[in-house]
Structure 1
Amino acid sequence: MSRLDRLRMGQVETRHFQQFNELLRYVFQVTKKELQMVGWEEREIALAKLPVLEKADVLGWFDGEKLISQLAVYPFQVNIFGRVFEMGGLTGVGTYPEYANMGLMNRLMRQALQDMRDRKQSISYLYPYSFPFYRRKGWEVITDKMTFEIQDHQLPKAKKVPGYVERLDTEHRDVRMVYRRFSQMRHAAMIRNDLAWDEYWRWDLDDLTAAVYYDATHKPQGYLLYWISKDVLHVKEMVYINQEARTGLWNFISAHFSMVSKVVGNTYTNDPLAFWLEDGDIKETIAPYYMARIVDVKQFIVQFPFKAVGTEIKLAFQLDDPILEWNQGLFTLHVSSTGEGELTQGGGSPDFVLNIQSLTTMLLGYKRPSYLSNIGRLTGNKETVEILEHLIERETPYFSDYF
């Protein structure tokens, strides 16, 4: 019997918790000492991993009773141009090095994607520890994360607003209320259920504080999640429903002028702070953040809200997928005059050609059809590209979660 023959794929259950945790620690090289340095004790470290096994669909390869490769899929939802999609959140991916190059992870991913398809999770998100690896598996970048650093003297001067800010516990219901409204407005955002909120808070320390902005009618319109350490105010996330709330929250940050030397943090939009600030000579960096892939192109297209262009559109295209055969071949896209899509197998000569990675980032609005055409990621004539430009909404994807 060969080494591969003695391996079996199966569900990873709570009884495998210690092995699951050990494999994650080894693959990501996270030591107990490193976690304890940021305030995590051994019991907390262990408990943090347990929900993955309890609430996610976890698959693994076993060599006898030894867990040697694994991945997990969380059941999440995201807002795509105003419609709620079931999303499979891929995490916990790893294989011991002595079992590498045996095709184990490829087969695990293939099975996980089949299971997502069966559960009607037509799209999958993940945080990439290796962009090339996940691109080879069909995922593509769909969001960015911007980091900023503002010196104390560069903080904006306070502007009069009719509302006020209150500092509250991060678990306060108004924080969730604001985010729920915000996620209904923001394309690609996580629709946070209890599981998503648990993951959002998982690695935060106890000194994280929420500052909530209330308008003149005492309705919450935005929040700031932050902590202060060594004269630095750290912004985890700022969410606002309108510009009044944004101004009110920055007034609150600027009120720390005498307490901090600088403000650092993250934003998840393509709206640089430099232009908004009076002194825009600040440090900002932008980096790709989350990746996604369409799991089942037919399911996805039926759900996807195309722009209503007032006439019926019919385009044939050739699609390639490195793993999933149901996403490969010639398809015909039908879009009604009201923007409802349908995909059928087959068609005439293709109007355009692309792979699942390019289709995903294009439909989610991270990269436009014209850009993909210009760099050779989409092959089609000018008229076809213009039709695709008109069919897809223009809105920057937003995703601030981590799992």
Structure 2
Amino acid sequence: MVKDIEKFIEVYGDFKMRKLTEDDLEQFNGLLRYAFQITMEDLLHTGWTENQIMQAKMPILKNGYVIGWFYHDKLASMIVVYSMKVNIHDNICKMGGVTGVATYPEYTGKGLIHSLIKHAIMHMYQEGQSISFLYPYSIPLYRKHGWEIISDKITFTIKDTQLPKKEPVEGMMERVDLECEDLLNVHDYFSMQRHGAMIRDKLAWDEYWRWDSDDIIAAVYYNKNHKPLGYLIYYIRNDIFYIKELIYLNTEAHHGIWNYISAHYSMVKEVKGNNYSGEPMAFLFEDSEIVEKIEPYFMARIIDVQEFILRYPFLVKLQKLNLNFKINDSIAKWNNGVFNVYWNGEETICQKTNDIRAANLVEMDIQTFTTMLMGYKRPTFLYECGRIQTEYYMLRILEQLIPVEKPYFSDYF
């Protein structure tokens, strides 16, 4: 137990905020299980024992930034920040992955989560993580703290009679080990060229596999030269073919993977999966009357507006344009103000000013700024929703500057 008062980040009466260590593993695990209702039945379903689950979380305490409020040495509330990387329009950025936001019910209403989130944002800013991602258990809560929806999950159901007919391909699918290097390399290549995708390191892959049961299967598509061009991760249960992830690098691999799925025609009644491209899949099928359900998935928050703008790949560099973003951010004060943006050749220049009467002013909150630059919602749509305040002529300029591609994010942490 920490005794040195200097190790406490903040003290509020009988509550003390500090970083969690490996000595706090049992309390860390207990709060996670309570808050997210992980039961023994869930553990048995995945084939994990309670002790294995607890030990599997040890790398989080070692590698993640985990802070919590303690009440008389008992963990009351906590938040976890992973150090990750994500592709933003072909620009690899440091990303703070927020998870494990939890409080025991007897300590709610005391502002513990709010203060933890503020500290997490400051930590990410100091670490140079210019953007943060999270999976929301409460969209209104995270919007209040500056996050906004930036990706969708489209769940689809395909009847066995709707599976696509076989397309001729020269390669073939091979079932592989879950840690197969070819599978990992395909994802690396895919994520490096797909906006929004996470660059998975060991910690990210561990999180990706954490709750999968023993019946999960991986298969890689190889072309005629045995070059890996795509993969499928799936399992079959109760006559249903469940797709966890389907990734392909070209049309040949796409056809090859669906040929493989369709080869299970006699074994399953339907195929279920998730699509993270932001576009419905029905158009791709001969029988397009498939069932698709769309729901918001991940949220993001720009942590450092100036750094994010400097690294952002604007589509055009308008040499005679001075663009001024007025950003409202009540939590990260360094983001609150006017950012003057212009271009010197190919170089983007961004300087913070206090000129609220500057020409070409575009005003919005940090949530709107994030979802706009991430490409989830276009400037004109956000203007029509009342989320952007500017002169109408500025919309055409913004539409020219911001790439047209929705984020692809298939991870969960």
Same fold (TM over 0.5): yes
Deviations 1:146-170 (A, max 9, x none): 1111111100000101211111112
Q: Which residue identity lines up with residue 166 of structure 2 in the other structure?
A: A
Q: One-letter code of the match for 1:313?
A: L
Contact 2:341/2:348 (<8 A) preserved: no
How do 1:289-368 and structure 2 match up within 5 A? 289-338=297-346, 340-350=348-358, 351-368=361-378
Q: Which residue of 2 aligns with 1:51?
A: 59
Map of 1:287 onto structure 2: 295
Question: What is the TM-score when the length of structure 1 is the normalising length?
Answer: 0.96
Deviations 1:252-297 (A, max 9, x none): 0001111111110111012322110011111111111000001111
Distance in 2 (CA, whole Å) between partners of 1:204 and 1:370 is 41
- The answer to whether the aligner puts 1:268 opposite 2:268 as a matched pair is no
Q: Which stretch has the larger CA shift, 57-66 or 25-34?
A: 25-34
1:391 aligns with 401
**1:208/1:227 contact within 8 Å kept:** yes
The aligned counterpart of 1:160 is 168
Q: How far apart are 1:341 and its partner, in Å?
A: 4.5
Change (3 A) 1:258 1:339: farther
CA offset at residue 44 of structure 1?
Answer: 2.4
In structure 2, the CA distance between the partners of 1:167 and 1:37, relative to structure 1 (3 Å rule), is closer
Amino acid at match of 2:40: K
Deviation at 1:4, TM superposition (A): 4.0
Matching residue of 2:159: 151
2:114 is aligned, of 106, 120, 143, to 106
* 1:250-265 alignment, distance < 5 Å: 250-265=258-273
Q: Distance in 1 between matches of 2:164 and 2:307?
A: 47
**Equivalent residue in structure 2 for 1:196, among 201, 204, 207:** 204
CA distance in 1, matches of 2:347, 2:160: 48
**CA positional deviation for 1:339:** 6.1
How far did residue 122 of structure 1 move?
0.7
Whether contact under 8 Å (1:187, 1:395) holds in the other structure is: yes
User: CA shift at 1:346, angstroms?
Assistant: 2.3
Q: Please tell me the residue identity of whatever aligns with 1:367.
A: K
- State the alpha-carbon separation in 1 of the partners of residues 390 and 172 from structure 2: 53
Alignment partner, residue 210 of structure 1: 218
| CA distance in 1: counterparts of 2:131 and 2:321, whole angstroms | 24
- Tell me the C-alpha RMSD between the 2 structures: 1.5
The percentage of aligned residue pairs carrying the same residue is 48
CA distance in 2, matches of 1:202, 1:194: 12
The answer as to 2:104 corresponding to 1:84 is no
C-alpha deviation, 1:330, in angstroms: 2.5
Q: Which runs of 5+ in 1 are unaligned?
A: none
8 Å contact kept, 2:158–2:291: yes
Q: What is the identity, as a one-letter code, of the residue corresponding to 2:363?
A: V
Mean CA deviation greater in 319-328 or 3-12: 3-12
Q: Secondary structure at the match of 1:401?
A: coil
Distance 1:133 1:343 in 2: 31
Q: Which amino acid in 1 is paired with 2:393? A: E
Does residue 381 of the first structure (1) align with residue 391 of the second (2)?
yes
User: SS of the residue aligned with 1:281?
Assistant: coil
Give distance in 2, aligned partners of 1:70 and 1:312: 48
Q: Can you give the 5+ residue segments of structure 2 that lack an aligned partner in the other structure? A: 1-10
